[in-house]
Structure 1
């Protein structure tokens, strides 16, 4: 249960930073922020593992909270936010 709470906190932080970096309206407001963050954390962890397999191993990628990497989570949330807002509101952002 504690690991899920840490994931939720990191997800909200990552999605909030992603929303600051890409100022777009997240569909679903706070629930959309949480979902964007959770998918971003998941995507960031996968990208981190793939990059680690190719030998990309920087100390910045290891910054995290209880095993959840922050920088890949933020990058994953930025990508998810971009894709979701482009799919739901294509004319607004093009």
Structure 2
């Protein structure tokens, strides 16, 4: 069995600009290993599509590819949570 590795970087962003929105964003940055096949990338990213159905309070998940990046990352995933508790619940499930 082949193992595929990728670089993972995570940032949590709290909205402090106003009292109206208390959404919390977790930004995930991925760099694929050279030997990860296309279908492996697709299957991995597909996992994120089902998370809002499994964890209440995940408001949105946005997946985008970098055309150019100074950090050499391939994919950015922006996960929007309704509260810090929801983020913690998500972190306990992974």
Higher relative contact order (CA 8 A, sep 6+): 1
| Structure with the higher fraction of residues in helix conformation | 1
TM-score, normalised relative to structure 2? 0.28
| Structure with the higher fraction of residues in strand conformation | 2
